[in-house]
Each structure stands twice: as C-alpha cells, then as structure tokens.
Chains A and B, each alone.
Chain A
Amino acid sequence: MADSRSRLSSSVEGVIVLAVILVLVHTFVQDLALVLGWSWNTRLVLFIVGFGFDVFFTVEFLVRMYYAVMNRAAGRYFGRERGWIDFLASVPLVVLYSGPIMLALAVGGADLVGMGGMLGTFSAAYAIRTARVLRLLRVLKVFHALKGTRAHMTYRHMANVATIGVSVIVLTVIALVAFSGAAGLPALESQEQARHVRTASLIDSRDLARSDRQELLRDVAASRPSVLVVSEGGATRYSRHDNEYYEKHFGMGDYAYVKSGATEIFFDLRPLKANQARQNMAYLVIVVIFTAAIALFYRRHFAATVTDPIHVMERGFSEHAHSLEVRIPERYRTDDIFRLAALYNSVYLPLKDRKADASGAGDVDAAGMADLSVSDLDDIGGEDE
C-alpha cells in the first residue's frame, strides 16, 4: 500500500518536472514569437497553452494546500516546503494575467477585450508572467526529496541558494516594473502612450486626414512606424498594411486606438511587446543559467567541501574495513570541516589501526577485512542439501 502510494507520488513528481520543463520551453517560445513577429493564430495557441499550464499549477497548488490544511501542516507546506513558490508561480498568473485575457478572448466583449488588452500591455501584468520562471525551483524541490543523506543535504543547500537567488531576481523584476509607475519613474508604455497622443494631435491639428493632404499624411506616417491606420469619419485615409495582413498578424492587445477630434488612429504595439519579450527572455536565460550554475558548480563545491569529507569520516567510524584518510585541499585547510578531518586523519585512524592490532584482529583485520554477516549463517543453517 505504502509502496503504491510512493510510486504514485513519484509519478506525480515526474509529471510536474516534465510540466516545469515544458513551461520553461513554452515561456521562451512565447516570447520568441513576439520578437520574431509570428502570426496571431500561433501566438493565440501559445497563449492558450500557457493558460493551461497556469491552471494546472494553480490546481496543483490548491490540492497541495488543501491536503496540507487537512493535515494541519499548512504553515510547514507554505514556509519550509516552499509552498509560497508554488503560490507565486500559479495563482497570481491566473488571477492577474492569463485568466482575464482568456476570459476576454472567450467572451469577446469590447470592455473585457479592452481590459485584457490593457492588462496585456501593462508591464506590471506582463512582468507577473516572469513568475512562471519560479516553477524552475520545483525541479529543485524534487531533487530535495531524493533519498540518501548526502544527496538530501546537498540538494537542500542547493535548493536554498537557488531559491534565494531566483526569487530575488524574479521578485525584483516584478517589483521594479510594478512600482516604477507608482514611484513616478518614466515607463516605456507611458512614454509610448504619450507619443501616440502627440502624433494624434499633430494629425488632427494639421488636418492631415483630409483627402487633399494624403501626401503629407503618408510622410508623417512614414516617420512614425507605429502608425497603422488613420481614418476620419469612418473613411480610411491611410493604412500601412492591407486587411489580410492585419487579419493574420494582429490580435488582441497588439494595437492601441487613439481618437483626436474626428481623427481615429490605430498604433502598432507589437514592437513594444517584442521589447518586453526580449527582456523577459533575458530574465529567463539569466535564471536558467543561474540555476544550472548552482546545480553544476555549487553542488560540486558543496560535495567537495562538506558532504564528501563527512561521508568518508562516517564510513571510517562505522565500518571496520574503512580506513581511508580524508583528502584535505590546501586552500580549505582552515575550514571547520577539514580541521575536524585533520583530527580524524591524525588521531582517530591511527588509534583505530592500533586498537585493531592490539585486539588481535590485526592478523587479518587490522582495519577490518570484509565482514561476514551473521545473516549469511541463517541461510546456511536453514538449508538442507
């Protein structure tokens, strides 16, 4: 029974690790789609997949939290077992980012579309998407659950360092973006919005939408690549692309609409979003490289300077046959662990050797040869040949 539960648990963990890897790939591809200007349909599919992942991790968090509450271990799950990472990497995404946009897409209402579009363009909401990267830490949680004292200790330390590093990077990014507006710092979106208003005022004030000023309007539009369509009284005066192009490449949140007097102008927001996507990709790469560096280099360093010497000493204390000295690297000689190892090498091992010799075991077993086990005897005694 316990065995089947353990198998189920490891299968679930396996699915989660796979989902985490897929999420990372998906997040990168979703940003890449914006940078490379992929079609709206492709981006829509990627968005829906992302929403699916957000829901999956939210449900997973809620299930874990539910069981933790039932077992009166909610505090432990949320704190020591890093449930707060599960929370940050799931619930805010569904509530503040993908949920509203998905709702807008599903309902198709103008207000909701507007809201979704607004949220999509706001860096704060977009930066929340960065929290998906926190899911990377879930992989470390799985390593943490590995059996074996050495692995357990190594991965706990590794996970702590990675959690601190990745959380600081991600939360700082989110906080900086979210609070830059509140602190009165100029944000790219507001600058872009101001540019749009200025452009609309210029076109309206000079009456460039008039049919006899098409040439001038085209010159203004050429100098402002974000201008997509200019219309007046329902009649299109300028369009950068044909309708087929708009249909294929533009979707919700890809454009902004500004009305100045009788002039209506649509602006292309995709370059702004591509810029944000580039930043997101950079954060993702930084976090992945950081975590990989921890897993590769810090783990090795931790093993070499903490767990390996401890393991050698542990074997020396518990096994008769084990009499290998701890290797003490010169540059870490003054570390506590290696000062202990120096004592183990210089005092304990010689004493162990002398004790084995004095007890008479030294004939064969000065440091203890391979020990026969009493259990072998039970096998022999019970056997009838």
Chain B
Amino acid sequence: MERASAFIKRLLRDPALSELTPLQKEQQIVQFLHSNGSHVHSTLSHSKYFPDTPWSEIVALLEKALSYIVDDDLLPALRRIVYDQIDFSFVTFLGGSEAPRNRISDEVYQIITELLKRGPTRRALTGPYTAVYHRLAHPYIDGIYARETYIHFELTKVQRLRMGEKELKSMIDACLLLKPAIHLAHRENGQQRADRVVPARFAEEAVAELGSRWSLVPEQALRSAAHANVSFQNNRYVEATSRLVALFATRGRNYRPRLRSERGAEPPEKSWLSVARRNNSFYGFDVKMLDELYSIAAEKGW
C-alpha cells in the first residue's frame, strides 16, 4: 500500500493536474490507468514499485490508495464548503426545519461522505463538486436577477421561491452537492453510471426514501437535487432550481479554470453553453434557460 501511495503521489504531482479539483484529479488518474493499462503494468512490474505483480492487483491497490490520498485533500475542502461557504439560511425560505444550521450542515456533510464511499456516486459528485468549488453558478445567478426574464420568472413565479440572490446561490450549491444522493436510495443501481438522467418515478421514490433518512434537509431542496437527475425534455414540471443544478453539474464535469479565450475562438463559457444548447435534448436541459445563460455569458464576455 505504501508503494501504491508513493506512486499515486508522484502522479498527483503532475503539473497537468495542478488546476483540477481533487475529484477531477482522481478521475483523471483512474482514466489514465485504465486507458494505458498495458504500458502502466509493464512499467510498474519492472520497477521497484510492483515487481512481478498482476495488473488486477496493482490497479486495485492504486485505486484504493488514490481514494485515501484524494480524501485527505477533499474532505477538509468539503467541510469548508458545507460549513462556511454554503449559508443554510435559505431553508427558512423553503419552510424547512427550525433545526440549528450546524445540524443541517452536519446532515449534508454526512450525505456527501456517504456519496464518497461508493464509486459511481463518488464519480457523479465530480461535476457538482467542481461547480460548487469554483462557484460556477454564482455569476450567472447575479445575471439572472439583474435581467429578471425567463429564469427569474421560472424561479419566482412558477417555483415561487421568495429568496434573494445570496440564498439562491447557497441553495443551488447545496442541491448540486446533493444531486447524486438519489443513487443512495437505490443501491441496486449502484454499479450504473450515476450521472445519467433517471426516470421521474425513480427520482420521486428516491426523494421519499431520502426524506425519511435525512429529515433536516428541507424536502424542497432534496426534491430539487433529485429532479436535477431528470430530463426536462420529458418532464416539464421539473423545478427551475433542478434545471439549473443539472446544467451546472454538467458544466462542472469538464470545467477548467485556467482555460482562457484564444484568438479566433469564442470564450470558454459561451462555447460550452452553445454546445450545450445543441445537445439540450441529449442532456435533458431546458433550452430556454440555456439561451438566457448564453446571452449572459455573451454579454459579459465569459
């Protein structure tokens, strides 16, 4: 295990990974190990690390070591996000429990640590975590409130949220982190990819089960998080917050903070939103929402 840790630490020091969040680094390394299996095996089995060890054993050891090492960075960062960055005062606007905020934070943190224990949900948390870590939704929420057009109408008139920008940002961040939680409710689906859209019925059942297990997080927040896994194309009732969460979770998956505009190209945000608009039915996004976010990004030159 020590050799595996030493090897993983060397890989994590690769400058190509420096800009990534811990979960992104982890996924990148896992992908690297699997796509270059034969080369990695021949190199490692002839080195001081794993002399004459079968590949299946090596990869299992490496993945285990990787999770441990990544958790060392990830868990403190997650604590900071859950306890300091996200302001759970938004729960009062949802008619949620009167429990102290710390207890709600504890519960959310507990859910996230549950998610991190299982491979598929851990992978599914990568995009949402990156989105929250880099606060990807925040500048757009400012734009939404400044414009007061489609998305604002959907949030305030259709979903009837009566909260301000600050609370909405926290709610979106919390829902992002809770998005993969529906897969905790159905363990039999644990081996499937947890970032795919799910049937609406699956989400409803998950909300009911999660609500019974974690009572402090308001049902509306859990529902928003769960419905972020449902395609808007087939379920027009999906809440505006869920649609936003779905969008930013996907954005977080391939977000690179240091990616800058280049000559002759559109800026990164505008490019991503444009591609997402064209793939809206594939991902189950609300195209009108994408149009508005695209317009905000274009206006701001993101």
* Chain B 240-266 interface residues, beta-carbon cutoff 8 Å to A: 250, 253-254, 256, 259, 261-266
B264–A350 touching, CB < 8 Å? no
Q: How far is the CB of A290 from chain B (nearest CB, A)?
A: 25
Q: How far is the CB of A245 from chain B (nearest CB, A)?
A: 61
Chain B residues with CB under 8 A of A382: 47
Q: How far is the CB of B221 from chain A (nearest CB, A)?
A: 24
Query: Of the 9-residue stretches B11-19, B97-105, B138-146, B167-175, which lies at the interface with chain A?
Result: B11-19
Query: How far does the alpha carbon of A235 sit from the alpha carbon of B254 in the complex, in Å?
Result: 99
The 0/1 profile, CB within 8 Å of A marked 1, for residues 21-40 of chain B is: 00110011101100010011
A372–B17 touching, CB < 8 Å? yes
A374–B271 touching, CB < 8 Å? no
Q: How far is the CB of A301 from chain B (nearest CB, A)?
A: 12
The 0/1 profile, CB within 8 Å of B marked 1, for residues 313-325 of chain A is: 0000000010111
Query: Of the 9-residue stretches A141-149, A166-174, A355-363, which lies at the interface with chain B?
Result: A355-363
Query: How far does the alpha carbon of A308 sit from the alpha carbon of B266 in the complex, in Å?
Result: 11
A380–B19 touching, CB < 8 Å? no
A311–B264 touching, CB < 8 Å? yes
Would you call B4 an interface residue if the criterion is a C-beta within 8 Å of the partner chain's C-beta atoms?
no
Would you call B274 an interface residue if the criterion is a C-beta within 8 Å of the partner chain's C-beta atoms?
yes
Query: How far does the alpha carbon of A27 sit from the alpha carbon of B250 in the complex, in Å?
Result: 64
A372–B275 touching, CB < 8 Å? no
Would you call B70 an interface residue if the criterion is a C-beta within 8 Å of the partner chain's C-beta atoms?
no
Chain A residues with CB under 8 A of B283: 357
Chain B residues with CB under 8 A of A346: 278
Chain A residues with CB under 8 A of B23: 364
Residues of B contacting A: mostly? helix
A326–B124 touching, CB < 8 Å? no
A-B contacts, CB under 8 A, total: 134
Q: Contacts A325-B270, A385-B6 hold; do A374 and B39 have CB atoms under 8 A apart?
A: yes
Query: How far does the alpha carbon of A365 sit from the alpha carbon of B264 in the complex, in Å?
Result: 24
A325–B274 touching, CB < 8 Å? yes
Interface residues on B, range: 35 or more
* Chain B 127-152 interface residues, beta-carbon cutoff 8 Å to A: 127
The 0/1 profile, CB within 8 Å of A marked 1, for residues 66-110 of chain B is: 000000000000000000000000000000000000000000000
Chain A residues with CB under 8 A of B44: 381
Q: How far is the CB of A361 from chain B (nearest CB, A)?
A: 6
Contact among A325, A363, A378 for B253, CB-based, below 8 A: A363
Would you call A244 an interface residue if the criterion is a C-beta within 8 Å of the partner chain's C-beta atoms?
no
Chain B residue with the shortest CB-CB distance to A384: B48
A364–B262 touching, CB < 8 Å? no
Q: Which of B29, B39, B43, B275 has the most CB of A within 10 A?
A: B275
Would you call A103 an interface residue if the criterion is a C-beta within 8 Å of the partner chain's C-beta atoms?
no
Chain A residue with the shortest CB-CB distance to B45: A381
Query: How far does the alpha carbon of A380 sit from the alpha carbon of B62 in the complex, in Å?
Result: 14
B263–A374 touching, CB < 8 Å? no
Query: How far does the alpha carbon of A371 sit from the alpha carbon of B254 in the complex, in Å?
Result: 12
Would you call B279 an interface residue if the criterion is a C-beta within 8 Å of the partner chain's C-beta atoms?
yes
Q: Contacts A372-B14, A373-B16, A377-B40 hold; do A365 and B6 have CB atoms under 8 A apart?
A: no
Chain A residues with CB under 8 A of B267: 324
Query: How far does the alpha carbon of A378 sit from the alpha carbon of B23 in the complex, in Å?
Result: 24
5 sampled A-B residue pairs with Cβ under 8 A: A324-B266, A324-B271, A364-B253, A380-B11, A380-B47
9 smallest beta-carbon distances between A and B, as pairs? A308-B264, A364-B27, A381-B43, A324-B265, A366-B254, A350-B278, A370-B16, A325-B266, A325-B271
Given contacts A363-B127, A363-B195, A381-B47, 9 further A-B contacts (CB under 8 A): A304-B264, A324-B268, A327-B264, A346-B278, A362-B195, A362-B254, A372-B16, A373-B16, A377-B39
